[in-house]
Amino acid sequence: MAGMENRENEKTAGPARKLLIHLCSFFVCLFCVKTTVSQPDEDSIQKQKQYKNVIRYNLSGALLFGADKYIVFGYERVIKPHQSISVNFGKASLPRLVNIVTDSFALNGDKKSTGINASIDYRFYLAKENKFQTPHGLYIGPYYSFNKFDRDSRWDRTRSGAASFVTTNTEFTINTLGFELGYQLVLWKRLTLDFLMVGPGIGLYDYHVKFDGDITPADKEQLLDGLKQMLTQKFPGMNFVFSDEEISSNGTLNTTAMSYRYLIHIGFLF
């Protein structure tokens, strides 16, 4: 995910991002200490009971979007000696927005904000690089992710005259296909920390908006400008994806762009 440029957004997202960075540093140090102190030999590995299932919680998404907005759980199953399949699903609605103001409208708030996240990846644990039983160790593999967000927002007119408002309904869908590299660490035989740190892919972005209210073409143009601000304000990476794109007059935007995926999961091995 890329960083966000909006100054107000930095004030709210900054602490979460700093916490995420510190958390990554702590886990990396913990991994280095563990692997340096305890390097098992092949005989001891063979004697260990192999656990083939992991249930996990997406920790990084909760830190970036908010624990109440991003609740995604996953399950991984070892299906071959060095291969596994992993699925994730849950709620992934967009975070609360700060004020957005155009020449004619000001964002009053969201009447509804919902969304889902679903993904699947197939992992190949590199036998020559790993000294532990799967699913502990370095892995690579393809992934597919799906995100859908629905949001109803109220916009108040800022021009003088009788008070009025317009409601917009937006539907934003992202399909991503890519390749990942990560490392899953197992602590105390059962606690797992999954670091997916390299995940480039191709994203298909599909955005639609409907207007509920009496608006002129000039008003619609103002609202489309505000809606583009909404896309880039608190959605990591969207300022890069939509930097050269505009929402059409009929309220649609379709584009393809490079995307990047990184995740931190905490889980339980059984």
pLDDT in tens, 209-238: 998 877 888 888 888 888 887 777 766 677
Confidence of residue 124 (pLDDT cuts 50, 70, 90): very high
The answer on pLDDT for 74 being more than 60 is yes
At 163-192, the pLDDT tens digits run 788 888 999 999 999 999 999 999 998 999
H-helix segments, the chain: 7-37, 42-47, 59-65, 217-233, 238-241
pTM reported for the whole predicted model: 0.79
What whole-number percentage of the chain has pLDDT above 90? 40
Q: Do the Cβ atoms of 90 and 117 come closer than 8 Å?
A: yes
Task: Tell me if the bond preceding 135 is cis, omega within 30° of 0.
Answer: yes
> So what CATH class is 7-34+50-269?
mainly beta
Which is it for strands 165-187 and 200-212: parallel, antiparallel or unpaired? antiparallel
Query: 111-125, 165-179, 245-259: lowest mean pLDDT where?
Result: 245-259
